[in-house]
Amino acid sequence: MIEIEALFRITYGLFIVSSGDRNHGNGFISNTVFQVTSNPPQFVVCCNKDNFTAGLIGKSGVFSVSILERDTASDILGRFGFRSGKDFDKLEGMSIKYGQTDVPIVLNASIAFLECRVVSTIDVGTHLMFVGELIQSALLDNTKEPLTYLYYRQVKKGTAPKNAPTYIGGSKPEQPKEAGVFKKYRCMSCGYIYDDEKENIRFADLPGSWTCPVCGTDKSDFTEL
Amino acid sequence: MIEIEALFRITYGLFIVSSGDRNHGNGFISNTVFQVTSNPPQFVVCCNKDNFTAGLIGKSGVFSVSILERDTASDILGRFGFRSGKDFDKLEGMSIKYGQTDVPIVLNASIAFLECRVVSTIDVGTHLMFVGELIQSALLDNTKEPLTYLYYRQVKKGTAPKNAPTYIGGSKPEQPKEAGVFKKYRCMSCGYIYDDEKENIRFADLPGSWTCPVCGTDKSDFTEL
């Protein structure tokens, strides 16, 4: 028997993994970044094969990891976690530093970063694991704690996007149900807010097929404010 | 430039990874357990090649993961983290459940467990990554939080053992220095306590070559109480 709740007790951080170069880059939210050796220091990131950034890592052979702070704003998580770089320049308007390899490194909401050069790529089915040797790392803010996946799920009531290694269909954490209270919901992709009080129908009563009127994102990717 | 402190901002859990069978098993403390795909559910563990359990995983093709609770006692961490199963039966006297594959699963201080069958092994230099497909998982205690590496370092003042992917020579977290105060130190391996007040020489003033009089563990693997 497989008990899904057991899997959620594995602790993960949350990161923006980026790749590309000065002309063209992209990044995505990952919970799968970890050190595998200390001599030399090597790190693994795991990406869905459909992930746009996975293609950039394969092509450029470099990636960066931005370690997110606990209070990362939802629009950063939505921008990098729930939209694809295929049809949208996620780095536009962001605070970007370019590494020694010219890889873009996202500085917004980041307390530290790593820059790695890929030394091997492992196919694990739906996902690829990239093993990278560390080129540089820096601490940006010593006063803030890192964002963990548990905090994101429990406090920010967040879900995993469909491409995440930990995605479980409909695995939204339980939310308190209060009858007769108007609520607001934010689209994790574009930031559009659905306000129960201003609409004829409450968000909870909208059909599952309803999508964001601004960007077309699924109802299930809205988060309660 | 590589800033070591940046690497400590990556969030990890702490686990006992075990392998073997009903006759002969062993386990070690790992901070490198993570999900890499959800369909099918696959998990990776990373072990130093010198690790005794790594040999058992290679031979048996199975491993279990016990997800440790935040208040895991130091003697459990010492027993599984700082001693080798080569010359000591770590599972003796522990609360053990055997999985569907007969792999031992440590239940002490565990809030959930996973049982996996190895589907591939990846050589990353000093360490091996074992990719395992999930056979079963269970939640044991819904009321307790998981132990994180950050909590272990900051609150329990713990270090990484030499075989850990995150081991940095002498990376002991900073401890407050109070002159003129007697302190106690516990051996992370056997639990022996060195009490400044009862000795002619304070622990801090012992030479670096000093070792535990009971089990021979290095001075650097003692932790202040």
pLDDT in tens, A127-186: 999 999 999 999 999 999 999 988 888 776 677 777 778 776 655 454 444 446 788 998
Determine if the pTM surpasses 0.90: no
**Chain A residues closer than 8 Å to B131 by CB:** 124
**Chain A residues closer than 8 Å to B51 by CB:** none
Determine what percent of chain B is predicted with pLDDT higher than 90. 58
pLDDT of residue A21: 97
Torsional sign, CA A64, A43, B76, A8: positive
In DSSP terms, A123 is beta-bridged to: A128
Mutate to test the interface with A, among B9, B110, B121 (most CBs of A within 10 A): B9
pLDDT of residue A218: 82
The shortest CB-CB distance from A6 to any of B32, B113, B124 is to B113
Query: From the CA of B201, how many Å to the nearest CA of chain A?
Result: 35
Q: How far is CA B205 from CA B138, B200, B213, in A?
A: 47, 10, 16
Query: From the CA of B165, how many Å to the nearest CA of chain A?
Result: 4
The shortest CB-CB distance from A165 to any of B9, B37, B145 is to B37
**Positions in chain B short of pLDDT 50:** 172, 174-179
Q: Do B40 and A137 touch (CB under 8 A)?
A: no
Cβ neighbours of residue A104 under 8 Å, at least 6 residues apart?
A18, A19, A20, A21, A22, A25, A27, A64, A91, A96, A97, A98
pLDDT of residue A17: 98
